[in-house]
Amino acid sequence: MKIRYPLLLILLLMAVGAQAQTALLQQGNQWYYNVYCLIMPNCGYTNYSVGQDTLINDVSGTIVHESSLQELATEPESEIIILRQSNDTVFKYSPEAQVWHTLYDFGAQPGDIWDIQSETYVGYGEEDQPETFRITVDSIDQIVIGQNTHRVIYTSAWSDGIVPSDFHFGNNGGRIIEGIGPVDQAHGLIGQSVFEMLPLQNPSFACFLNNDELIWGSDSSPCNALSVEGMKPSLAKLNIYPNPAFESFQIELPDKSAVLQFYTTDHKLQKIVELSGRFQHTSISLEGLTPGFYIIRLIDQDGKVMGYNKMVKL
């Protein structure tokens, strides 16, 4: 018996250590997510980093800094979100409604529904046209990362067959890992629109770090190439003129067949022009395009991006 007690004590300490978790809102935590890319993969990123604690209406929360570098942008855009965790539940503060609302609950059970936004506008979509953000918990699981066991929640956009949710935490299971947050096809920490585009690269989870140590995800870009210069595409810009243009513009092209694609700044494909490759200088009609900003991509027959530029239709 004297021999067995130390063994039991060791096993107990190992079990307790295996259950220790890295807190979601711990200082030193960072997340990187890829953004929509039309021209080249890894064109930008969204970064979240845990900041200082704050007090809102006598409730303690944590500031999370969000910095997003979008494709063709020269500087990242920054904003803050405020989160707090109480036991198993992560809450987000809504400045619009001035309330705390549930974001995700790691104590959830299959069949639970998270009503994040329905009647009260808490910041998803447009305030004059509030959209539904309601999540169904499909299943729960566990995953071992390092020496820690994390609970995993698989979610999907709720639907009653008539009015589906307009937001979710990602396609293909909407997986949320305890202590890490939304992963896989998630666009960020706080949910995303169910609307999906078809660019060269869709947004997705890249990595989660604690004090610059990789805990989960990939150590490739953007996790190891975080400067603005490192994220800029290396393609040459297309030579187009005039720009801005009213009805058409001239473009210099390589002597090969290609396709010219016009995208809006929110990555929606608006126009395709097939080019024969017989002329190095040709006129491109802007018929059918509404006035505004567009991203132009030149694609060869193999689907490779040959060049790009931004233009304005007057």
CATH for 285: 2.60.40.1220
Do residue 250 and residue 216 come from a single domain? no
- 106-150 confidence digits (pLDDT tens): 999 999 999 999 989 999 988 888 789 999 999 999 999 988 999
pLDDT above 80 (res 166)? yes
Alpha-carbon distance 75 to 73, whole Å?
6
* Of the residues 170, 193, 227, the one at which a domain ends: 227
**Strand 181-182 with 281-285, pairing:** unpaired
Residue pair 222/43 in contact (Cβ under 8 Å)? The answer is no
Do residue 92 and residue 155 come from a single domain? yes
Q: How confident is the model at residue 12 (pLDDT cuts 50, 70, 90)?
A: very low
Q: How confident is the model at residue 6 (pLDDT cuts 50, 70, 90)?
A: low
pLDDT above 50 (res 24)? yes
Do residue 212 and residue 249 come from a single domain? no
C-alpha distances out from residue 44 to 54, 183, 205, 285, Å: 29, 17, 12, 31
Phi then psi for residue 254, to 5 deg, are -70, 160
Alpha-carbon distance 67 to 61, whole Å?
19
Pick from 42, 11, 22, 62: nearest CA to 222? 42
What's the pTM value of the predicted model, to 2 decimals? 0.75
- 199-240 confidence digits (pLDDT tens): 667 889 999 999 888 899 887 767 764 433 444 445 667 888
pLDDT above 90 (res 37)? no
Do residue 244 and residue 218 come from a single domain? no
Phi then psi for residue 7, to 5 deg, are -65, -45
In terms of residue numbers, what domain contains 256? 240-313
pLDDT of residue 70: 86
pLDDT of residue 2: 46
Residue pair 251/282 in contact (Cβ under 8 Å)? The answer is yes
pLDDT of residue 49: 93
Do residue 81 and residue 202 come from a single domain? yes
